[in-house]
Structure 1
């Protein structure tokens, strides 16, 4: 088994590692409109998530007396996870596009 791994390692190291250079990588013409749309979508999604977070907090406050705290805390966790996903996705796309 060890000789098989050594043989495989020798084959992999013998392969040419000539990676082509794709160039600078420029955005296509008109890409600014796409980033504007992404910006609007991000702020719209974050606005909806803020309203959802406020509603989940109000439900937690009112439902805490009846013992439904865990369910409402789970909602808050899901909304915060949504905020993280929306923020990270926009940042990642913006980083890759520029």
Structure 2
């Protein structure tokens, strides 16, 4: 888990490339807020995976594992979208 948080925070430390031009006044504060939001969302994703994993163990004991697999797939898709958010926006703007 430490490696995941280290990877997430090193990824979040990078400033997204919005193209040329000069940043407006106060842009550094906006990027700081964006990094905090991204860190919070990453934390929630990790907690969500831990929660889904615990539910999968419990469901396996009761023979109801199929429903949890769907929830895991949805969570993985959400993490993919969150992780590629700056790339998607960059592609749409560029």
Specify if TM > 0.5.
yes
Distance 1:37 1:92, change over 3 A: farther
The equivalent residue for 2:63 is 67
User: CA separation in 2, counterparts of 1:40 and 1:90?
Assistant: 14
Q: Is the 1:49–1:83 contact (alpha carbons within 8 Å) kept by the matching residues of 2?
A: yes
RMSD: 2.4
Which of 37, 40, 45 matches 1:44? 40
How far did residue 85 of structure 1 move?
A: 1.3
Please list every run of at least 4 consecutive aligned residues from structure 1 whose deviation after the TM superposition is greater than 2 angstroms. 90-96
**TM-score in terms of structure 2 length:** 0.66
Unaligned runs of 5+ in 1: 1-23
- What number of residue pairs does the alignment pair up? 74
* CA deviation map 1:7-61 (0-9, x unaligned): xxxxxxxxxxxxxxxxx42221211111111100011011011111001011101
- Partner of 2:24, secondary structure, is coil
Unaligned runs of 5+ in 2: 1-19
Asked if 1:31 is matched to 2:27, the reply is yes
